[in-house]
Structure 1
Amino acid sequence: MFLKMLFSISVALFVTLIGHYYLYLRLVDPIFGKSTLWITIFICLWSITFFGFIILRIVPHFLRKIFELIMFIWMGVAFLFTIVCLLTSPINMYLKATHQSTIHLCFFVIFSGTILTLYAMYLALKRPEVIHTHIKVKSILPNNIKNLKFVVLSDIHVSGLIGKKRMKYLAETVNSLNPDIIFITGDLMDGSLNQLKKEIAPLGDLYAKYGIFYITGNHEYYSGPQNWKHHFADKFKWKVISNSSQTVTIDNIAINILGIEDRHWLSYEKIPRKLDKRLQQAVNHLNFNGAPKEEALNILLAHQPKDARLLAHFPFIDLQISGHTHGGQIWPLQYIVKKDQKYVKGLYQINSNQQIYVNQGTGFWGPPMRLGTNCEITLMTFFSK
């Protein structure tokens, strides 16, 4: 565990240093030359990027907002500017090979990067988009299942940048959809209960006729998961599912909702990955309660899409609902996400009987920017084949 953490820190140190040095060489040096002022600025910006996550955990909330704004906006700006630099690198190499000035190219990159940054911030900060998804289910289920409405929220990431005002709008928007059930699939916050309980408070007004079902994401395990789970269960009256199940019967439709903890729970509980029995525990809980399976709609809530590999052992599960990926959030990160998670956003057919839906995030993480993705509230309905 220690070696893995040391490796991750070393990679982060290397990547951030190289990235800042590359931006300095491409955009600053051709215009200003070897400037002590700009070298100092870039060292400070790198320090904010590398040490910022530690600082966020210890500063008071009002300072956290300011620091997050500076840190995450710079992270997004640096990433987008690097992308533009890389895309224009053949032109840059040609100009240098022919001994021509690259100053005009620098100004073009700065202009393009600025426009791209502003557009990406607009996509992230605008109101979440309600995406209506129709999902086919087995024909044995009653036809009136099409009348039920399920809302999926995921990866809201309440923090210094996503706060009380946005949560109030989110609660009002979701309630206006009149959902029968709400699923919240983790990464709800980035911070401790003491830091963020006021910011997250409007979500206590969420209402669904047959209940709100919540599972943890990986970010809960950076933020004091037990405190948050008790808060949601006791204060918000949500149904917190931890490697267990709940069965809801609506008219003559049985809906089994299984929920597993995020994969970080294994490390938290000091359980080796090879002994991963999270879904088995949830299925055992369902069997213990004697819930029907073949005649029911069986839904698994699992924060990370790659947990879909567990479904092969439990073919009665019809649908997995996940988040975590943010759809990649900023192009072209979706290609890296796909390599890790396999499923990036939207609905996928896993096999002839099982599907997975991946919400691309109701909020955003890190830079308040999106490119090629949207903040999503999923409105999910089912119909019989």
Structure 2
Amino acid sequence: MAFALVLVSILCVLSAAHWYLWRRLVRDVSAPGGVWRRTGTALAVLLPLVMVAAQVTGRSDAPLWLKRLLAWPGMLWFALLVYLLLTLLVLEFVRPLLRRWAARRAPAASAEPATAPAAVGRTGATAGPAPADGTAAAGPAATAAASPPDEPADPSRRLFVSRVAAVSAGAVAAVTVGQGTYQVLGAGPVVKHVPVVLDRLPAAADGYRITLISDIHLSPVLGRRACQRIVDRANATRPDLIAIAGDLVDGSVADLRHDAEPLAGLTAREGVFFAIGNHEYYSGAQEWARHIDRELGITVLANRHVSLEHFDLVGVNDPAGEEFGDGPDLARAMADRDERRASVLIAHQPALIHDAMRHGVDLQLSGHTHGGQMWPGNVLAALANPTLFGLERYRDTQLYVTRGAGAWGPPVRVGAEPDITVLELRSR
């Protein structure tokens, strides 16, 4: 019942959003029966259907070619929809100003000069020629009565303002989404270097380099090429250790096996380690864990730890695993370790920081937030997570959150560039 209510609510919101777009971008700027009116109306119906179909087939057993065919237009339209709506809503406050500006520039009909010479009587009053039908001539008072000053903008003026608003909204949305798409598909993740001082880190480990990767989200949209670029940039940091904080994939092993192959090329002095994210649970976590461990050669830390040369590395499952009886268990993961040694935790969600504090973790590495991915999503993401991105201290535990190397849903990032972070550990 709850799922049905949520589904109906989402469909109602989508319908209202597309009706508003149709009204502002199609009805208000075109004539009934015209080419743009017919084309725009068809798109207003087709695009939301494609967007919904992309989500449905993405979680189904549909063939991969169909998922790709629907994912590209569906996901990009979602991003355009967001920025078209935001821009048009802002322009609602600008439209009255545009109408007043257009009204001031429009010549008043009553100000036009007369075309026939006027006759001057004995009293000095000016009289115009009498109409041929004998009716009285219309004077200034009649003209004013016919066109009162408070009359709404005429149809041509309204059309002009509507077209200016529509073109402006389309340009803003296209440029924003185009730049955001380039950030993901063109430029790719930037490499950041962040120094982190750990009290219990031995002096011999000073300068130890952990390269953190998270939230690649391989999918029908982000494939092998994006994956290879991330691997190349991570390897170029020459890390001592590579930590992958979940959400590698959005799809099954059967669909994404080929796209994930470059991950086998990740190299680090003490190895490559992975903790399960929530999207792995949506995509078959156990199958992916076996594939990552056996086929890609990446060690999966599922509620367990390994003792490295200078500290203990701990990994826990994502809270989404609780539905499958496979949730995070930090107590089990940290059992039987030497508590005098420093500990570094890989946990996909920053929200696990409170558990990390209770267990005396020195440093937690997380992703999940994407830094909001698409502004103003950062506002919602900040409300849902203790840290949106970057390094913060929670008593004796430090938390670092990366924005992630890929993108979920639309391959678009606005105000939240993708990143790979090199954490340079420092000893006191």
Same fold, TM-score > 0.5, yes or no: yes
1:236 aligns with 2:236: no
Question: Unpaired runs of 5+ in structure 1?
Answer: none
CA distance in 2, matches of 1:107, 1:37: 16
CA contact (8 A) 1:12 1:50 kept: no
Aligned to 1:282: 333
Aligned to 2:188: 127
- Give, as a single letter, the amino acid of the residue that structure 1 aligns with 2:426: F
CA contact (8 A) 2:239 2:268 kept: yes
Report the alpha carbon displacement of residue 8 of structure 1 after superposing the two structures with TM.
3.1
From the CA coordinates, give the structure whose radius of gyration is larger.
2
CA contact (8 A) 2:357 2:394 kept: no
What are the superposed Cα offsets for residues 325-367 of structure 1, whole Å, 9 maximum, x if unpaired?
Answer: 110011111000011113111111222x111111101001111
CA contact (8 A) 2:54 2:67 kept: no
CA distance in 1, matches of 2:391, 2:357: 18
CA distance in 2, matches of 1:23, 1:147: 54
Report the alpha carbon displacement of residue 236 of structure 1 after superposing the two structures with TM.
1.7
CA distance in 1, matches of 2:61, 2:201: 51
CA contact (8 A) 2:26 2:41 kept: no
CA contact (8 A) 2:51 2:70 kept: no
1:226 aligns with 2:293: no
Aligned to 1:356: 399
What are the superposed Cα offsets for residues 187-220 of structure 1, whole Å, 9 maximum, x if unpaired?
Answer: 1011100001011101111111111111111111
Instruction: Say if 1:342 and 1:29 are closer, same or farther in 2 by CA, change over 3 A.
Output: farther
Question: Unpaired runs of 5+ in structure 2?
Answer: 101-151
Report the alpha carbon displacement of residue 4 of structure 1 after superposing the two structures with TM.
4.0
CA distance in 1, matches of 2:255, 2:41: 35
TM-score by length of 2: 0.81
Aligned to 1:136: 197
Paired residue secondary structure (1:133) = strand
Greater than 4 Å deviation, 4+ residue runs = 93-98
Report the alpha carbon displacement of residue 36 of structure 1 after superposing the two structures with TM.
4.4
CA distance in 1, matches of 2:96, 2:348: 44
Aligned to 2:316: 260
Aligned to 1:50: 52
- Give, as a single letter, the amino acid of the residue that structure 2 aligns with 1:354: T
- Give, as a single letter, the amino acid of the residue that structure 1 aligns with 2:389: K
Aligned ranges 1:307-326 → 2 under 5 Å: 307-314=352-359, 316-326=360-370
CA distance in 2, matches of 1:259, 1:4: 33
Instruction: Say if 1:11 and 1:319 are closer, same or farther in 2 by CA, change over 3 A.
Output: farther
Matched residues, number: 365
What are the superposed Cα offsets for residues 286-342 of structure 1, whole Å, 9 maximum, x if unpaired?
Answer: x2xxx2123x2211111111121223422x201111111110011111000011113
Identical amino acids, percent of aligned pairs: 26
Paired residue secondary structure (1:320) = strand
Paired residue secondary structure (1:157) = coil
Paired residue secondary structure (1:90) = coil
CA contact (8 A) 2:218 2:260 kept: yes
Q: Which has the higher contact order (CA 8 A, sep 6+)?
A: 1
CA contact (8 A) 2:208 2:426 kept: no
Report the alpha carbon displacement of residue 12 of structure 1 after superposing the two structures with TM.
2.1
CA distance in 2, matches of 1:299, 1:133: 15
CA distance in 2, matches of 1:88, 1:297: 54
CA distance in 1, matches of 2:423, 2:2: 39
What are the superposed Cα offsets for residues 255-301 of structure 1, whole Å, 9 maximum, x if unpaired?
Answer: 112211111100122x8xxxx762222223xx2xxx2123x221111
Aligned ranges 1:37-116 → 2 under 5 Å: 37-56=39-58, 57-92=60-95, 99=153, 100-101=157-158, 102-116=162-176
CA distance in 1, matches of 2:248, 2:301: 15
Which of residues 262, 274, 292 in structure 1 aligns to 2:338? 292
CA contact (8 A) 1:65 1:160 kept: yes
- Give, as a single letter, the amino acid of the residue that structure 1 aligns with 2:69: I
CA contact (8 A) 1:279 1:310 kept: yes
TM-score by length of 1: 0.89
